[in-house]
Structure 1
Amino acid sequence: MENRRRSLLIVALLSPPALAQIPLSDELSLSGFGTFSAAKSDNNTPVFFGRDITDDWCFDCDSTLGLQLDWRMSPELRSVLQVLKRPQDTFSSPTLERAFLEYSVSDHRIKAGRLRSPMFIMSEYYYVSSAYPWLRLPVDVYGGNLGITHFEGASAELNYELLGQFQLSLTPFYALADEEQYELYGRPFTLDIKNYYGLSADIYLEDSQLHLSYTDVEARQIYTGQPDVCFNLHLFSLGLSHTIDDWHFQAETLLSNDLHANWYAGVDYRVANWTPYIQYGQTRKTKTSDSYLLGIRYDFTPQFNAVMEWQRIEGQKNVISGQFTLPQDPSETFASKVDLVSVGLSFTF
């Protein structure tokens, strides 16, 4: 089953060293993942934040490489360190994506340090392309957070069994105040986060998962020579992943306090080592776009796969349009759609 395969992958990457792929000692283990790709669009305006794909073939726009070190200090205490080359990074300048201490008691865990934001159904394996059938996560939901995937603070994972067949996982989290530098539509700014906290809940039944989350963010965008932009967002997300035999359906939506919604829905079907898939999504909050995705994945082994896909993004004929990451040139005819082709190889170890 597809969800079960994903769950086993998460265990291999994030669980105690006894289950890791490469044991370095009784206490230390090393695991990793990566994606190497080629992508090209039919427009010279870059598309997708953090990737900036244009009409020139790009061999690094989706590429990732991550290494994770687990140290089991005692039966209850472990530490995790993950260094990652994200699509927007160079291989010579990776980022520290995760670094935390975890204390386990019974079926519950408490974490402190640099943690993954649990907003979405696939947040835990955000950069692990092998964990989902597509080459990249759906841009309609996952592409609107400026690439913010982690925070520094604390969280708890509380696991319960319900009615003898359901598994419930509750994750409250709180982030410390932080400032980071970003760029949006070619304009650099500082994102000053004052408050950032929330709660996520996951309900599991066999190979199905229901994900709900609430996130409260109070922040301001600081531009040079311009007034600050202050905001307080109340974000709600809902996701469903359901498997029937070789069919797998997944959908997610992101709602804000002003009722704008971003969402996607997709189906994939596993035939031996092949997995064809289709997906449709909409973005309506900070931009307007519709996305259409068609692709196929081939698994050489459980740890090594290839993906080939075509995607169309439709927006509006404006300077700021769809999923473009820069304003369009006013002296040229505005484009309202862009087609992309992508191929990729992904692996875990």
Structure 2
Amino acid sequence: MAFAPILLRRSLALLSLLAAAAAWADEMPPAGWRLSGFGTLAYVHSNESQADYSASALNPGTAGASKAWSPDVDSRLGVQADWQLDPQWVMVVQVVAERSLQNGYAPQLEWANLKYRLSPELDLRLGRIALPLLLVGDYRKAGYALPWVRPPVELYGAIPITNSDGIDANYRWSSGEMTHVTQLFYGHADVPFKPQARAKAQAMTGLSHSATLGALSLRLSAMTTRVSANLAPQLFDGLQQSGPAGVLLAQRYALDNARTGTVALGFSYDTCDWFLTGEAASMVSHSFLGHRSAAYLSGGVRLGNWTPYLGYAIAQPVSAIQDPGLPLAGLDSLQLARASQLSSSLNYLLAAIPHQHSVTSGVRWDVAPNYALKLQYERLMPVTGTRGTLINIQPGFRAGHAVSVFSVALDFVF
């Protein structure tokens, strides 16, 4: 297993920068500087030999068809620096090294923002900011903060973008014994996912509201954006050249400045002795991404240093995942073959909308301060006709049967 040497080599530049930063920090007032970090060393096994298990389309795993045991699904290293410039100004920078589609384990800038406190209740931030759509969105990559090895892939894999470049405003207020945080945000994201191909989310405009009352926390979020990605260019170029019906199909399904909206609601009830948490989200895109929903419910008990937990999750399409495609009547043999191929390719793309449910069981063992060892088993059931959340589909893949996924992870903070 060669993950550790790879990660160390890929993170060499990051660690060199941190060493220089730490030396500089020694010259600053201790109250004005804080350096912290987190990491996960994990291996994942899937018994599906014709596809790979992945937690995110942007940080692909290689467990299954590619490798018997893979470190790529969850392993990462993150470092965060916080500067308290004065009572009003704070700067935050976070760098994360994890498997990506384009750069392997090369460190990537996750957060880089400047916060100004206008009053004890109101903050403004500018820069690269965590996308506040989901319940654990602020720390979804810091596995030590989670009870599970990873957030449920049915929901969190459906929203793989984790940050935006822009501005936000956070207003803290209270009503009786309940405290609230209302956040408005605006920005954009530009994500490379393969050579010479990028996904862009423009005008990401949203509202997130969190409320806390004792052990209960709630979050309601909504966002609208316009998404573009040059996926399947041959398919959509072919449709554009296939007459009026093909042009209409291309306009309907191409991910080209497509209006996309997301609404999410989550809750967590944590008494310190036990917890119950769940989320649900609806995502609508005027493209082949369609209308889909996802949800999960998970709970566990804390028995000293041990936390066994269970979970159930589901992802399903709301819109159709098949289209009649191009009309075939009156076509000669060459045109018929081309139209059939284009229609088949379109339906293969539509079938990528995840439709699966899963059951998860696991245990967390806090082996030492700042270290947690986790073992997790997931039983995924992709619905017949789809491939669920699996990627790298091989010719022998058969949907409609259960997939077993085993994970072992060591999470730490420093």
Q: What is the TM-score normalised by the length of structure 2? A: 0.72
Q: Looking at secondary structure, tell me which structure has more helix per residue.
A: 2
Residue 263 of structure 1 pairs with residue 295 of structure 2: yes
CA distance in 1, matches of 2:100, 2:379: 22
Query: 1:327 matched to which residue of 2?
Result: 393
1:328–1:334 Cα contact (<8 Å) kept:
no
| 1:228-257: CA deviation from partner (whole Å, max 9, x where unpaired) | 423212211000101246120000001135
How far residue 126 of structure 1 moved from its aligned partner, in angstroms, is: 1.3
Residue 52 of structure 1 pairs with residue 69 of structure 2: no
CA distance in 2, matches of 1:57, 1:260: 31
Query: 1:294 matched to which residue of 2?
Result: 361
CA distance in 1, matches of 2:399, 2:295: 25
Query: 2:339 matched to which residue of 1?
Result: none
CA distance in 2, matches of 1:238, 1:38: 31
Aligned match of 2:44 in 24, 39, 42?
39
Change (3 A) 1:342 1:155: same
Amino acid in the other structure paired with 1:236: V
Change (3 A) 1:92 1:220: closer
Q: Percent identity?
A: 25
Amino acid in the other structure paired with 2:115: E
Aligned match of 1:311 in 351, 355, 378?
378
Query: 2:170 matched to which residue of 1?
Result: 157
CA distance in 2, matches of 1:332, 1:287: 15
Helix, strand or coil for the counterpart of 2:53?
Answer: coil
How far residue 202 of structure 1 moved from its aligned partner, in angstroms, is: 0.3
Residue 139 of structure 1 pairs with residue 153 of structure 2: yes
CA distance in 2, matches of 1:207, 1:87: 35
Q: Which runs of 4+ in 1 moved over 6 A?
A: none
CA distance in 2, matches of 1:322, 1:136: 17
How far residue 196 of structure 1 moved from its aligned partner, in angstroms, is: 1.0
CA distance in 1, matches of 2:267, 2:99: 26
Aligned match of 2:255 in 224, 229, 245?
229
Helix, strand or coil for the counterpart of 1:61?
Answer: coil
CA distance in 2, matches of 1:121, 1:102: 22
Instruction: Give unmatched runs, 5+ long, in structure 1.
Output: 1-22
How far residue 140 of structure 1 moved from its aligned partner, in angstroms, is: 1.3
Query: 1:110 matched to which residue of 2?
Result: 124
Query: 1:88 matched to which residue of 2?
Result: 100
| 1:168-195: CA deviation from partner (whole Å, max 9, x where unpaired) | 000100014x543225xxx984323232
Change (3 A) 1:190 1:272: same
CA distance in 2, matches of 1:204, 1:137: 21
CA distance in 2, matches of 1:328, 1:91: 22
1:154–1:173 Cα contact (<8 Å) kept:
yes
Residue 275 of structure 1 pairs with residue 307 of structure 2: yes
CA RMSD of aligned residues (A): 2.2
Q: Looking at secondary structure, tell me which structure has more strand per residue.
A: 1
CA distance in 2, matches of 1:156, 1:56: 46
Query: 2:337 matched to which residue of 1?
Result: none
How far residue 259 of structure 1 moved from its aligned partner, in angstroms, is: 6.5
User: Computing the radius of gyration over CA atoms, which structure comes out larger, 1 or 2?
Assistant: 2
Q: What is the TM-score normalised by the length of structure 1? A: 0.85
Residue 128 of structure 1 pairs with residue 142 of structure 2: yes
Query: 1:201 matched to which residue of 2?
Result: 209
How far residue 208 of structure 1 moved from its aligned partner, in angstroms, is: 1.3
Between the two proteins, the alignment pairs up a number of residues equal to: 319
Change (3 A) 1:301 1:207: farther
Residue 76 of structure 1 pairs with residue 82 of structure 2: no
Query: 1:337 matched to which residue of 2?
Result: 402
Change (3 A) 1:194 1:171: same
CA distance in 2, matches of 1:332, 1:248: 37
1:322–1:336 Cα contact (<8 Å) kept:
no
CA distance in 1, matches of 2:312, 2:181: 28
Change (3 A) 1:92 1:212: closer
Query: 1:64 matched to which residue of 2?
Result: 76
Residue 219 of structure 1 pairs with residue 232 of structure 2: no
2:263–2:281 Cα contact (<8 Å) kept:
yes
